A and B are shown apart, each in its own frame.
Chain A
Amino acid sequence: MTGAQQPAPHLPDAHLPGAPFFRSQLLREVAGNTLRPGGLALTRRLLGRLGLTPGSRLLDVGCGPGASAALAAEMPGVAVTALDPCPDFLAQARAAHPGIRLVRGRAEALPLASGSQDAVLCECVLSVTANRAAALAEMARVLMPQGLLALADLHARAAAEGASRAAGCAAGALPLDALLAELAAHALVVMAVEDHSRALAELAARLIFAGLPSRALGGPCSGSRPGYALVLARKEARP
């Protein structure tokens, strides 16, 4: 681990409840190392909106095996810090992308100085984070004034009457308007929202072909309708 401005707290391996779907071998086989809908194409889209230049500092919260952080690190002169609570993911990221600065830590307690980052990238993390408000507060804290938060995540859409609760990663997803309201509550001004629910549907379809029951996805067969969106928000500059 390098680059942390204070030591990351000790994290027991049982920090995540149950056996989270995003750590399953099936998702890895189907989605690849990004572990999320849209793959690196959507990550490129987010990174392209951040206006990073040589000297910019980017934090990837919940980096997993490091695919997005590695992509960001290809941008000339951009200093990338990749954070994840899972030692296995960090070990995989270290092996696959030895040049990335890796930090073990949780979104709810970022071991970085306030105002130290030009941008924060957070893909498919908030919906599986135990304390979303704390995570958003931390991301806002480490962003410099006018810094940008790039989110990609699941959100809950209107479910059919009598529908079962969404499952898997979608179980913790908020309705999009509620998510945007939470951003605003943390002085993060939403600049752009893009719907990419089609990418989620295509990943769900590939998972079904690979053997995952559709009810495990919280998909139409369960009556719930998760969506997927990219959100770009700017940290308010406060006097």
Chain B
Amino acid sequence: MQRFPELAAPYADWVCADCGGPLVPCLARAAYMGSGFDIELLGCPQCRSALVYEDLAEGKMREVELVLEDK
């Protein structure tokens, strides 16, 4: 499982928009075009939601999408 502690750090004090509970490291599965990857994101275990960090979405996730699209 891949962790991104440096990307998660700015969100350490965020809370869940639904229940107000603290976000904690959670296992998430990022899936795209039939491939899936286990990653760790901050999320709310109560509401089963995860926060995708902007830098992650626009950085590594974008690069991974391009690789998997194989264009």
Kindly identify which residue among B35, B37, B39, B67 contacts A219, using a CB–CB cutoff of 8 Å.
B67
- CA A225 – CA B71 in complex, angstroms? 8
Q: For the complex formed, measure the closest distance between the CB of B30 and the CB atoms of chain A, giving whole angstroms.
A: 8
Determine whether B68 belongs to the interface, using a CB cutoff of 8 Å to chain A: yes
Who on chain B is nearest to A215 by CB? B63
Give the interface size bracket for B toward A.
Answer: 10 to 19
Q: A208-B60, A209-B2, A209-B60 are in contact. Are A202 and B66 (CB under 8 A)?
A: no
Question: Which residues from chain A sit less than 8 Å from chain B, CB to CB?
Answer: 197-198, 201-202, 204-206, 208-210, 214, 217, 219-221, 225
Who on chain B is nearest to A30 by CB? B2
- A–B complex contacts, Cβ < 8 Å, 23 sampled: A198-B35, A201-B68, A201-B70, A202-B68, A204-B67, A205-B35, A205-B37, A205-B64, A206-B2, A206-B37, A209-B60, A209-B64, A210-B2, A214-B66, A214-B67, A217-B67, A219-B63, A219-B66, A219-B67, A220-B66, A221-B63, A221-B66, A225-B70
Determine whether B18 belongs to the interface, using a CB cutoff of 8 Å to chain A: no
Kindly identify which residue among A204, A209, A221 contacts B39, using a CB–CB cutoff of 8 Å.
A209
Question: Which residues from chain B sit less than 8 Å from chain A, CB to CB?
Answer: 2, 35, 37, 39, 60, 63-64, 66-71
- CA A151 – CA B7 in complex, angstroms? 40
Count A/B pairs, Cβ under 8 Å: 43
Q: For the complex formed, measure the closest distance between the CB of A199 and the CB atoms of chain B, giving whole angstroms.
A: 10
- CA A205 – CA B63 in complex, angstroms? 8
Question: CB-CB < 8 A to B35: which residues of A?
Answer: 198, 201-202, 205
- CA A158 – CA B35 in complex, angstroms? 23
Across the interface, do A214 and B63 meet the contact criterion of CB distance under 8 Å?
yes
Considering the complex of A and B, which 5 residue pairs feature the smallest CB-CB distances, nearest first?
A: A205-B64, A209-B2, A214-B63, A220-B66, A204-B67
- Known pairs A201-B67, A220-B66 / 9 extra A-B pairs, C-beta < 8 Å: A198-B70, A205-B37, A205-B67, A206-B2, A208-B67, A214-B67, A219-B63, A220-B71, A221-B67
Q: For the complex formed, measure the closest distance between the CB of B37 and the CB atoms of chain A, giving whole angstroms.
A: 6
Question: CB-CB < 8 A to A225: which residues of B?
Answer: 70
Question: CB-CB < 8 A to A204: which residues of B?
Answer: 67
Across the interface, do B70 and A220 meet the contact criterion of CB distance under 8 Å?
yes
Question: CB-CB < 8 A to B70: which residues of A?
Answer: 197-198, 201, 220, 225
- CA A205 – CA B60 in complex, angstroms? 9
- CA A53 – CA B69 in complex, angstroms? 41
